Structure 1
Amino acid sequence: MTTAPRPGGESRRPPTTPASRPAINVLVRTTRTTTLVPDRRLGLDAVARDSGLHPDLVRRFVALGLVDATRDAGGRLWFEPSALATLARIQRLRAALPLNYASMGLVLDLLDRISELEDALRRSNAGSSRSDESWI
């Protein structure tokens, strides 16, 4: 639903609510300003900023075991760059399924296991030269 065009040809759309918002496939904003420490880890602030999440929510995900992080001697959290993809996956699942964050760990584990099994199946099929099997 759009309203009348603005004087420059742009149309103004009404704000959307989370329930009416279209599905977004990529929820991770990448910026060139993200600073990496020498061993390629990201700090809590950089991960929170790039994922669009509040730092307290990222800390909660770490406490629930949904995202891996390490602590340095000062107690600061450090993340691998892959944590951004994990956070985006959590956001997509949370938006698509009526699950709480605690049960999200089980879903993530199951999805990871499915991916491993699919990869193993692809590898075994790639090594097989039999053409008599058809999966149509």
Structure 2
Amino acid sequence: MSELLANYTSLHVGGPANKFIRVSSESELVEAIKAADSAGDEVLIMGGGSNVLISDAGFNGTVIQVETKGNTFHIDACSGGMITVASGENWDEFVAFMIEKGFAGLESMSGIPGSVGATPIQNIGAYGHEISEVVARVRCWD
């Protein structure tokens, strides 16, 4: 085992991972999962490391940290817009970016730690608003 997972969690706890891989693209993510599956490794996919508790004994498998970045705007003057955002983006930075661009609906969820990809999984919400009110769809793999 090598990489100490405490360095990657907001609670700063967690022992070593057998394998630790950072991915910055969807294709890298798919290849890392395929390789771990082929090796018979258990897989733990991590974003920003918040809301995760890892044993001090570590993780005897492959940890994949998703660091994908980027967003795309699809704006329609009549019906609003759609923003596609990579799962590895920092959630709070994304909220600030959207507010700066003049989009409403996320501001009450500012300050919540984690990555964009974790928000629908964790079903985040604050001050009477939930992520389900602003997410139109999520792309995932099985």
TM range (shorter): under 0.3
Structure label with greater radius of gyration: 1
Comparing both structures, which one devotes a greater share of its residues to strand?
A: 2
Normalised by the length of structure 1, the TM-score is: 0.21
Structure with more of its chain in helix, by fraction: 1
